Amino acid sequence: MRLEITCDDRLGICQDVLQILRDHEIDLRGIEVDPKGKIFLNFPELAFDDFRHLMPQIRRIPNVIDVKTIPYMPFEREHYEFSLLLSTLPDPVLSIDSKGCIDIINDAGLRLLAGHEDSLKCEPLMQYVHGISLQRWLDKKPQDPIYEAVTIGNSEYYAQLLPIWVNDEEGSTAFAGAVMTCKSEPVTASWQSQSNEKAFERLLTDNSTMKRVIKDAQRMAELDAPLLIEGETGVGKELLAKACHLASPRKDKPFLAINCAALPDNVAESELFGHGEGSLSAQSTRKTGVLEQSAGGTVLLDSVSEMSIGLQAKLLRFLEDGVFRRIGEEQEVSVDVRVICTAQGNLYELVESGEFREDLYYRLNVLALNVPPLRERKSDILLLAEHFVTQACKKLGRSQVSLSRAAKERLKRYQWPGNVRQLENTMFRSVSMIEGYTLEPADIRLPELNQEDDQLALDIDDMSLDDAVRRFESHVLRRLYPSFPSTRQLAKRLGLSHTAVANKLRDYGIGKQRSGRARKAERTKN
């Protein structure tokens, strides 16, 4: 039973209330005094007759204004509010006393330490957290917070420790412990850093080849020359380009990108170089292109291989002398920008086929990086998957989700034709749909090969050799295409020419029936 007593301030009023409780032999469980003139009592339920005699006696105490029953004590409400707030936090949060023992821990912290609250309470935190001299720090009674990388289990976290100091009414303070928050990533985004090394921290890898690419990129970032980044779709070419910009002397200037594959040629030219007033239509106003907008900074030409031959010529001239003309104007514009280009696959193959200017290729290929696909970086799959799971949990505002052993094996076996982008999207979708806290293989939806396409056994009783070979080729190509969606990738895998594989895919009706350049031409025509 809980009572709320409203009263005027008077010396000794609490003593009068407690005397009445003693007279009725009531076992007091708790008392709270509100400075605003309220006294709260917590005691066992009373029989009706006892309660009927108690209430008038309390009301007759001098300066008591009102007495009523309440469902909970203020402290109880604050306790449950606090517990609910902690439970909604996605990061592990716990409180320790001055001896380093666990006092309070939220749900994410319980999962991190793999225990129940009752079993973890009063346990020394040092037996779970490694990489920091926790007790030595507590013994110093610190005034300032610290931020340290720690190891919990087999995983690394970034722990922020905030010291707790309690003030009394006389203004003196006493050290009472600390609150620790654990995060999977640093609090300060690495993009905010101005150093070369920090700019590349978001490029997570445990693969030796990828580490060499990043090391080369760090050196190339400081050079003021065109940079060509090649690699399959979704490998992180744009992320690498941004890192190169942020690690360059141009980091304080704009970084702008234009997707050459997403725009018709006339639109792409206008976006890149701009146009004069009335040049496109009678109503069109003068527009500044991306090159001018990013003056002093960096321009990223994404999918430069999709650029038309005419636009390639104009880009070549700009790279040679740093000047260009807006569409519909005669005046030349001079701009100082660094150009970074990305291309899917090997750009030189397009040079050999006559689809890309050789002189422009050599102008762009002053510095070059080739990003390996995710299937060649098996050690990165789980590293990136766990990172994307953590990011997804933060975006969705939910508690941390983990990957089961079976889920990890499923991720490692998959070929990831869409590379890192596909992995990121898959992890976000999986986290957003799961109801529990552990991702199982059934929670990870991935495109699967049809069973019929996985069977290479052929019935050749009524087939000619030619038909049997064609049937076998069709099975092989259908089986491999999902993992190698580019004809150049597939050609390299099979040891054939790009043209031969493209013709076979077209003959068997596999994959894209038209090239990206053909689709772009059709859009432009329409």
Q: Given this model, what pLDDT does residue 240 score? A: 94
pLDDT at residue 227, rounded to an integer: 94
CA atoms within 13 A on the CB side of 96: 25
Tell me the C-alpha distance between 134 and 161, whole Å.
Answer: 10
Query: Torsion angle, CA of 256/244/251/196, rounded to 10 degrees?
Result: 160
| Predicted local distance difference test score (pLDDT) of residue 423 | 94
Note the pLDDT of residue 388. 92
Which of 312, 379, 352 has its CA nearest to residue 491?
Answer: 352
C-alpha of 61 from chain center: 62
Query: In the chain, what are the domains?
Result: 2-75 (3.30.70.260), 89-183 (3.30.450.20), 191-370 (3.40.50.300), 375-443 (1.10.8.60), 451-525 (1.10.10.60)
Q: Return d(Cα 382, Cα 158) in angstroms, integer.
A: 19
Pairing assessment for the beta strands 173-183 and 227-230 based on DSSP bridges: unpaired
**Model pLDDT, residue 455:** 43
Q: In angstroms, what is the C-alpha Rg of the chain? A: 34
Q: What is the DSSP string of 430-475?
A: HHHH-SSSEE-GGGS------GGGG------TT--HHHHHHHHHHH
Of 135, 129, 151, whose CA–CA distance to 100 is shortest? 135
Q: 174: helix, coil or strand?
A: strand
Residues 340 and 229: beta-carbon distance below 8 Å: yes
Q: pLDDT by residue for the chain (526 residues), tens digit each? A: 899 999 887 778 888 889 988 888 888 888 988 877 889 999 989 888 888 888 999 998 988 999 999 998 888 888 888 777 777 778 889 999 999 999 888 888 888 887 777 788 889 998 888 888 888 889 888 888 887 778 887 777 778 888 998 876 666 788 899 999 887 765 433 333 334 557 788 788 989 999 999 999 999 999 989 999 999 989 999 999 999 999 999 998 999 988 887 777 778 888 888 888 776 666 667 788 889 888 999 999 998 988 888 888 989 999 988 888 888 888 888 999 999 999 987 888 888 888 899 999 999 988 999 999 999 999 999 999 999 998 888 888 888 888 999 999 999 989 898 899 999 999 999 999 988 889 999 999 887 543 343 344 445 556 677 777 888 888 788 777 766 667 777 887 888 887 888 888 888 887 654 444 444 444 444 4
Q: What pTM did the predictor assign?
A: 0.54
Q: Supply the pLDDT for residue 8.
A: 86
Please name which of 204, 209, 155 lies closest in space to residue 182, comparing C-alpha atoms.
155
Q: Spell 301-335 as b/e; 16+ CB within 10 A means b.
A: bbbbbbbbeebbebbeebbeeeebbbbeeeeebeb
Partnered with residue 105 across adjacent β-strands are 94
Q: How many whole angstroms from its chain centre is CA 305?
A: 29
